[in-house]
Amino acid sequence: MGSPIFAPNFKIPYLIEKSGLTIAYHYQAMFRPVQNAPLPHGREMVKSCAEGFYTDLYAPSRIDRTRMETAFRRMLREVRPDGIVYVVFKGHIGADFDLPLFEAAAEELELPLIRLETDYYNNDMEPLRIRLEAFSEILRHKVRTKGKDHA
């Protein structure tokens, strides 16, 4: 979730898959919930992102925060993700503006959330891959130890 992760840069979905994770739901904080599984591909994906952009005028000061938070919490209840990858493309300050709202909701449900900042170039692929693999291990550990008492 966060900045658009499918277009125009496919780096984040590629790295998520390579880290052994699966995208269960794509939520563009900048617009609204875009699509749940199965995710669109090719022209359908581009159409979905474009419709989101042109349907909702985005500016941090113009978004109804209450509606967005309600939609996000409903998505968490319905999808029940193991964790959240929050993507911020450099220059998309609106996505960072929304982050505390999402962090609070994730913390209440004890959901791990990782924030990744990137750009449209591939020079940060290795550091992002390492961070996502570490996040993947945290999620696997959480799933393996669910319900167990920790010392």
- Inside any domain, residue 19: yes
pTM of the model: 0.72
- Inside any domain, residue 101: yes
2: DSSP letter: B
- Inside any domain, residue 149: no
DSSP-assigned beta bridge partners for residue 89: 118
Question: What's the pLDDT score for residue 111?
Answer: 92
Report how far residue 13's alpha carbon sits from residue 111's, in angstroms, rounded to the nearest whole number. Answer: 20
- Inside any domain, residue 4: no
Backbone angles phi, psi at 81, to 5 degrees: -70, 160
- Inside any domain, residue 31: yes
Q: What is the CATH number of the domain that holds 47?
A: 3.40.50.11900
- Inside any domain, residue 50: yes
Report how far residue 120's alpha carbon sits from residue 60's, in angstroms, rounded to the nearest whole number. Answer: 22
Report how far residue 107's alpha carbon sits from residue 117's, in angstroms, rounded to the nearest whole number. Answer: 20
Number of domains present in the structure of the chain:
1
Of 137 and 27, the one with more pLDDT: 137
- Inside any domain, residue 5: no
pLDDT digits (tens, 9 = 90+) for 49-99: 555 554 544 455 555 677 777 878 888 888 888 999 988 888 777 777 778
Nearest to residue 103, comparing CAs of 115, 91, 93? Answer: 115
Residue range(s) defining the domain that contains residue 84 = 11-144
Of 126 and 151, the one with more pLDDT: 126
